[in-house]
Amino acid sequence: MRFYACHGVSLQERCVGNDFRVNLTLWAPLEKAIRTDNLRDTICYATVFSLVKKEMDAPSQLLEHVAGRILRSLKEYFPSITRMELSLSKMNPPVGGEVHSASIILTETYRQ
């Protein structure tokens, strides 16, 4: 997923914004969806996008904070999720040199 958002430690980053990439892998039991062919029985990726976008739209200083909010939001909306891996990257971060991106990866596993 690609977003233009206002995350960063400096006030300028939070005002001007930057490009961000979110890569997300979700694990959930999907046996019912395999049988029923019904959207209610799976994880709707349009809803996932909407939830991620909502969290990306709320400015934060740290990538870790944004990523944690995304994971919490997804788990709350889709309690059947058993595991998530999220990579959040700030493209061309302002570090005084040429850097493609700064990224973090969070992984959460939940008991059912």
What is the pLDDT at residue 13?
A: 87
Counted residue by residue, the chain has a size of 112
pLDDT for 111: 84
Amino acid making up residue 54: K
Give residue-wise pLDDT tens across range 20-32.
Answer: 999 999 999 999 9
**Which residues of the chain carry a pLDDT beneath 70?**
none
Residues in contact with 103: Cβ distance below 8 Å, sequence separation at least 6, in sequence order: 63, 87, 88, 89, 90
Q: Any idea which residues carry the catalytic annotation?
A: 90
Q: What is the pLDDT of residue 69?
A: 98
Q: Could you tell me which residues are beta bridge partners of residue 2?
A: 21
Helix (H) or strand (E) holding 48: helix 45-56
Domains in the chain, CATH or no CATH each: 2-109 (3.30.1130.10)
